[in-house]
Amino acid sequence: MKDELINIALPKGRLGEKVYDIFEKAGYGCPSIRENNRKLTFEDHESGVRYFWVKPSDVAVYVERGAADVGVAGSDILAEYGPDVYELCDLGIGKCRMCVAGKKDRGDDTSRALRVATKFPECAKRFYMKKGREIDIIRLNGSIEIAPILGMSDVIVDIVETGKTLAENDLVVYEEIFPISARLIANKVSHKFKNESISALAAGVERVCAEK
Ligand code: PRP
């Protein structure tokens, strides 16, 4: 029985299920989480954890503000928002790539700004800034692939996992920007004051990930 619980933000969805399996194997199980209902928070005093499901892109916000002591977020989200958190380890799951993609037969007119449709404007800006290419960001929230098909953008900067979405829409990857995977992150203050329990949890998670 633990007095102080570690608050853990899990990304809702398929990745979150995998993440919870890892935490459970590491000794931080919370059986009630398996109950299929719409509850969002679960605690287990034996394991000393309180879990909550949040939107994957919001995990870093909960951790940065200390509502969660730790959480699991994709390195794409960390690269885009740059939250002030500690990155404790790479879980080696949720692997995909941040890419520039577009139509197969596109020619590049460098005399004007490149129109880039994306959910990741900061990643796109940094990438093209390094290249010294002027861009016009078109900020979208999903179905980014439609933008070049309709001629609204020249390229997209987006996540590619299996590559199916691109293939089925006759689009191709032009360049890979960086590889992505899920990371265990911690709030900086929690990491200081709950150091022992957070370090033990991170070590357990790392051990389970290394066994896979
Ligand atoms: C993501 C991403 C691509 C797709 C890539 O979209 O934005 O569209 O997955 O996966 P694939 O390479 O395996 O086809 P998501 O499913 O998050 O939906 P969205 O269109 O709402 O962004």
Q: Which pTM was predicted?
A: 0.93
Span from the CA of 201 to the centroid of ligand 1 (angstroms): 31
27-81 pLDDT tens trace: 999 999 988 678 889 999 999 999 999 999 999 999 999 999 999 999 999 999 9
Segment 168-197 shows an average pLDDT of 97
Segment 12-26 shows an average pLDDT of 95
Span from the CA of 163 to the centroid of ligand 1 (angstroms): 9
Instruction: Tell which atom from ligand 1 comes closest to the C-alpha of 159.
Output: 2
Span from the CA of 161 to the centroid of ligand 1 (angstroms): 8
Span from the CA of 109 to the centroid of ligand 1 (angstroms): 27
Residue ID of nearest Cα to ligand 1 atom 21: 142
Q: Round to whole Å and give the CA distance between 147 and 115.
A: 10
Q: Which long-range contacts (CB under 8 A, 24 or more apart) does 104-109 make?
A: 104/170, 104/171, 104/172, 106/148, 106/154, 106/155, 108/154
Residues with Cβ within 8 Å of residue 49, at least 6 apart in sequence: 5, 6, 7, 8, 23, 28, 30, 43
Verify whether ligand 1 is closer than 6 Å to residue 111 (CB atom): no
Residue ID of nearest Cα to ligand 1 atom 17: 142
109-148 pLDDT tens trace: 888 999 999 999 999 999 999 999 999 999 999 999 999 9
